[in-house]
Structures are given as C-alpha cells and as structure tokens.
Structure 1
Amino acid sequence: MLVKEILNKIMLKEMTIKELAALYNVSDRTIQSKIKKLGYEWNSKKSIYNYVGEDPEPVDVDFNTLFGQTSKMLAEQKQTNSEIAASASTSTSKVDAIDLLLQSPKDRSKRVYRGFYFDDDVLSIIDRVPKSYKSELVNEALRKVFKEKGLLD
C-alpha cells in the first residue's frame, strides 16, 4: 500500500496505528517513527498528518519498503491471504462472509448501537479481530445463523 493510502486510512479512522503495527509485526512507536522520518507530523487538533519535510512529499512510496525483509514478507503474506479469501468468495468454496471479515474489512452500513453480554469463549474470538471490524464480524455471524434458520433471506 502507498504512503498516501495509509495516511488517508488513518486520518479517516478506517485504520489505526495499532492495526498497522500488527500488520507489519512491529510496535506502534515504530510505525509512528517511520511516518515521522518520511517528513510527516501529526496534528492532534485536526487529526491529520501534515507534511513538513523539505523533499517532495513521498505520497507514492510503497509503505512496505520502510520495513525489513521479514516485515515485508509478513505484510505481503497477510495481503495475499486477503486476496485469496476475496477470490475464494467468488468461487464455490466454503469461505463465507465471516471468513472474509476475519481477513479483510467490509463497507459499513448504517448501524444502531446495542450493548450485550458475551461468554468468554465467544469474546475471545471477537477480540482477535481489529477494533474497527468487531461489529461487522458479529453482524455477519448473526446474519449467517439467521439465514440458516430461515429468519432472513
């Protein structure tokens, strides 16, 4: 992914520094320092990254190139897994919406907040998913069960 795409996702709150750090198997601090070394500064009041560097803005730089070979391979493997899951959804495999959500995000629809209590075993699975995808996972899991029971089309 390009630097401009990463920064836009962070500013639009589609991705967090923590999720990006997990993708590259590094710390939050490492991600922040890599972005800073590119010449960007975080403006906490506006929640945006401002370019303060002297060179031309590195928006078309591939973010993978900022990390060592191991991190690059991990990120590419995760990206490849997402692509495999996406292509598998078009074929007649057993990959369903829940599998896809566990590997890649989905467009959000209008939502209504409700609070529920979860058992520890169920919560441990939900907690494996990045924060921004938990609602999608729960919705898809419930949708799948409701369809199997004939309650949804």
Structure 2
Amino acid sequence: MPRKSSHVSERKSPAFCTTKPSKIFLKRRRYGREKRGLREMRVLENLKNMICETSEHTLPKCGDAMESNLKDVLQRLQAANDSVCRLQQREQERRKMYNDHLVASEKQHQLQWEAFMKEQPHRRAEVDAEHQTAMARLKEHYTKMEKDLAKFSTF
C-alpha cells in the first residue's frame, strides 16, 4: 500500500489516466503549499505578538489591580475583625453582668429563705398560742351553750 503524505492528500488517478502530472499542476500545488506556509507563519506571528502583549502589558496591569484590590480587601477584613472582637467583648461583658446579677439574686434569695426559716419557730409559736386561745374561747362558748341548753331542756 503506498504511503500518503501527511499534509497533502493525493488522489489516485483513474485507471485510464496514466500520464504524469503536468508542470502547471505541480506549480499550482507548490504555490498552494507556499501560501499555506505563509498563512501559518502569519498565525504564528500573531500568536507571538499576543503573547508579548500579554506578558508585557496585560499581566503587569492585572498584577497591579490585584495588589491594590488585595490591600483594600485586607483593610476591610481587618475592620471586620476589629468589629467582631468588639462585639465578642461586649457579649462577654453582658454575660458576666448577667451572671453576676444572677449570683447576687441567688444569694439574696438564699438569705431571705434563711431569715424566713429562722422566723418559722416564732411564727409557729404565735400560731399555736392563737390556736390555744381560740380553742379555750370555743370551749368556754360551748360550755356556756351547754349550760344554756341544759336550762331549756328542763322545761
């Protein structure tokens, strides 16, 4: 099997055409190859120019813009960090005050409870004394009523 050229596809001549390619045909083919070579050279030259433009102008501009934006972002980040620190400190102080108030309130309730429990024996004694006097009055009252009833039941 004949080997084909990588850039030019050669057609097989029909069986009835056994003549060699003409000089004009070969010239045109050579001219086409030269033209294609020039086109590829222009494309490569354009690529080279684009790469030079990018490395000499675009990249430094992007680097400068990125650096200035980075400084701005870092400043904003620092400001946000400071704000968060202040908020955390305020929250800590608020919690500490709340806990201190809670502890003080608990101590006050404990003292009130202890005072209440100390008063209980005295109050119990007062209530017992009132109860005894009330019971004595009731006893007298019922005794008096019994006597009165006894007077009326003799009739």
Greater RCO, CA 8 A, separation 6+: 1
Greater helix percent: which structure?
2
Which structure shows the higher strand fraction?
Answer: 1
Bigger-Rg structure (1/2): 2
TM-score category, normalised to shorter length? under 0.3
* TM-score under structure 1 length normalisation: 0.17
